[in-house]
Structure 1
Amino acid sequence: MPSPDLTATTETLAPIAQRADAPATLPEITAGGLTWRPATKADAPALLDLRNTIAEADAEPYREVIEEITELFDAPWRRFDTDSLLGHDADGTLVAYAQVESMPGDTRTVRVVLFGGVHPARRGEGIGRELFAWQLARGRQVLAESGKELPARLAVYAEDDGPVAKARIVERAGFTPRRFYSELRRDLRHLDADPLPDIAPDGLRVVPFSADLDEATRLAHNDAFRDHWGSEPQTPEQWTHGRTGFAPQWSVVVVDPDPDVDALLADPDTDAATADALRAGQPLVVAYALNERFDEDFAVRGYTFGYTAILGTRRAYRGRRGAPAALVAGMHAMRADGMEFACLDVDTENPTGAQGIYAGLGYAKTHGSRMLSIEL
């Protein structure tokens, strides 16, 4: 079922403080007899153990490493002192956690995402229900505090085959499924018999990712995803943060070696940052495939793989096969390092026809997930 039209303008919206309907105080959590406090970086090992225990119990297709947890605390926009909770039992063992996260670069929709979980051995005691009530209340406070007079969203992400009890808690709180995602994979083991196509983008140059093209790639990404539902511009801090799994050796960008600067500057869709870069004579990245490697997931899935985290094309360059060329080049790099599969996730309502591109390249669905939200 298509997602509802969520194109409310700021002129038709009530003030964010009114729409958020934030409580003056946060609900107390009494279930389970736990002791609650905010998370700190010193909690990273215990938090890693809990999150991986939950992932294993819920048959989630990934595991985390300590670097992924510690880097959460390094982002300056995260406020763990007010936007997180850890629940410990009488022995001091961590058995539940919650995190409420907002993004600094939101300019079209101000978003708050709710994360959390309860140790499998402590489920059924009401801890999850009360903890989620705290998350929702804090999320409403964060929206009200943002001061951004924009459409607003409270969101939760869930695997399609995740715990039924958790899904019920979320849906009873008023969250509705809005977007659906498919994880796809492409077999790289038999490229002699099942080769990848040779793709030569029209008038463009496919090059390995390099640090000097990183900012140009961020600008390309912000343009490419401007018309994707739920996407917001990434600030330089957001863009370079959270790269524990980043595999630059597999990542590829596509550059226009001779852009029509005058035409791009005259195009009203060219954003100000890109215009400044063009005037300064900086490289113009027009498509990209940024890939990641997660060795800790190989045993969980039973095969080695590379993961395409972000793939996109500037809107003015769509149809010139830049993104497929970058994707194929990245898959060849993965295969050269011995990876058996290439994986990625796609929004099932992607506006660029990505599903057809992936199917044509031999990708097939392995499982799915969804985003549930309250739109304000």
Structure 2
Amino acid sequence: MPPVTAGGLAWRGARREDAPVILATLNALAAADNDPFRWSLAEIEERLAASYRDLDNDYLLGFEGPGEGALRAFAEVDVSPGDATVARAILLGGVHPDRRGEGIGRELLAWQIARGRQKLAASALADAHVPAWFVVHMEDDGPKTLARTYERAGFVVRRYYSDLRRDLSVPVPPASTPDGTLRLVPWTPELDEPLRLARNDAFRDHWGSQPRTRETWAEYRTAFMPAWTFMVVDDAPDVDALLASPDTDDETAAALRAGEPLVVAYQIASKYVEDFEVRGFTFGYSDNVGVRRAYRGRGLAPVVMTAGMRAMADDGMQYAALDVDTANPTGAVGLYAALGYEKQHGSRMLLIEL
């Protein structure tokens, strides 16, 4: 591992009790870089509590001053246990605005890449002959110095995303009711596992998307809004046809044989209260929208989305918001435009492909 010596900081791994200082540092970075979001304490605590994250070795925290003073640099390397067709090391971190320009960021990124190589080499996919990526994200209008740091390290832009919003003071258009054996339902705990399976099926043909395991599915729930989350369930699916289809994954097949409910379309929503002040309005956020491949072309995405938008409006939200891959293969960009969504910001994914 390359040493991090710039800035004269004292370095160590993370501890769960570091969540408040990590939160303060990440939000200081977000404010300085004019990011349209802020982190919550619950989000940081959730990340530090994940059993598959090695706090001693996957994190590097740099403190200034005698003993452990103020946190001035932070790095995280995240390799998900659910990755199947691409092995990804996702890098998060940065240097506090008060200590930028000292070369700390370049050394910290070199440490992240080295740790990422270790993690990828030790992963379950190491011998699977699949692509391996280092991944970073940044806003389109993020600091040019940060973009140059990534470029010097070998990162290239591979994907663009649009941050969209829809004014909920404009009446939400009516959506057709699912026909036949299809039924629109709100989220319930009993449908959470069928929802996970639907998400994995819906996103299997999306660029770079990887399955969510039960463990990783349980994460990222600190802002989850069950009352805004809707699904379409097929009460009488053609089990034989689905089992015969090469598109049906093993977990879905097992659930069908066991007679479990089949979620075929969904909209998962969250409420990111910390972002309201930054963006200047209240909003409900659609974290994920999808339709199983066997059920596409039936107009199910507008059904779940309009149900979610109405629920957000009923709870007093001014806007509905979401992000979309500009090269989404399912026609989502056109769907969102037809529902009244308009672009507000943009972001990008940068990769080093091994």
Q: Does 1:324 align with 2:302?
A: yes
Separation (CA, whole Å) in 2 of partners of 1:151 and 1:190: 45
Residue in structure 2 matched with residue 286 of structure 1 by the alignment: 264
Residues 1:238 and 2:222 aligned together: no
CA distance in 1, matches of 2:278, 2:352: 33
Match of 2:5 in 1: 30
Per-residue Cα deviation, 1:146-186 (whole angstroms, up to 9, x for no partner): 23422111111111111111110111111110011001000
| Residue pair 1:200, 1:321 contacting (<8 A) in 2 also | no
The answer as to whether partners of 2:175 and 2:302 remain within 8 angstroms in 1 is no
Query: Normalising by the residue count of structure 2, what TM-score does the alignment of the two structures yield?
Result: 0.96
Segments of structure 1 that go 5 or more residues without pairing to the other structure are 1-25
Say yes or no: does 1:373 pair with 2:351.
Answer: yes
Q: CA–CA distance in 2 between the matches of 1:135 and 1:107?
A: 22
Question: SS at the partner of 1:80?
Answer: coil
CA offsets, 1:185-222, max 9 Å, x none? Answer: 0000232xxx4232323432111011100000101111
* Residue 161 of structure 1 pairs with residue 141 of structure 2: yes
Identical columns (%):
59
Question: Counterpart in 2 of 1:347?
Answer: 325
Amino acid at match of 2:117: R
8 Å Cα contact 1:202-1:320 kept in structure 2: no
Give the structure 2 partner of residue 255 of structure 1.
233
In structure 1, the partner of 2:102 is: 125
User: Secondary structure of 1:136's partner?
Assistant: helix
- Alignment length (residue pairs): 348
Return the letter of the residue paired with 2:75.
Answer: A
- Kindly provide the CA deviation profile for residues 18-51 of structure 1, in whole angstroms up to 9, marking residues without a partner as x: xxxxxxxx11111111000001111111111111
Pair 1:196-2:210 in alignment: no
For 1:99, give the aligned amino acid: E
Residue 55 of structure 2: which of 80, 98, 103 is its match? 80
**Counterpart residue number, 1:107:** 84
Question: Is this contact kept in 2: 1:245–1:293, CA < 8 A?
Answer: yes
- Any conservation in 2 of the 1:105–1:233 contact (CA below 8 Å)? yes
Note the alpha carbon deviations across 1:123-146, whole angstroms, 9 max, x for none.
111111111111111111111122
* 1:142 paired residue number: 119
Paired residue for 1:70?
Answer: 45
For 1:336, the equivalent position in structure 2 comes to 314
Q: Give the whole-Å Cα distance in 1 for the aligned partners of 2:17 and 2:195.
A: 34
| Equivalent in 169, 172, 182 of residue 152 of structure 2 | 172
Q: How does 1:222-237 map to 2 (within 5 A)?
A: 222-237=200-215
Residue of structure 1 aligned with 2:278, choices 300, 307, 320: 300
Give the residue type in structure 2 aligned to 1:153: W
1:46 equivalent to 2:21? Answer: yes
In structure 2, give the amino acid aligned to 1:53: A
Please report the TM-score for the alignment, with normalisation by the length of structure 1. Answer: 0.91
- Name structure 2 gaps, 5 residues minimum: none
Distance 1:210 1:226 in 2: 24
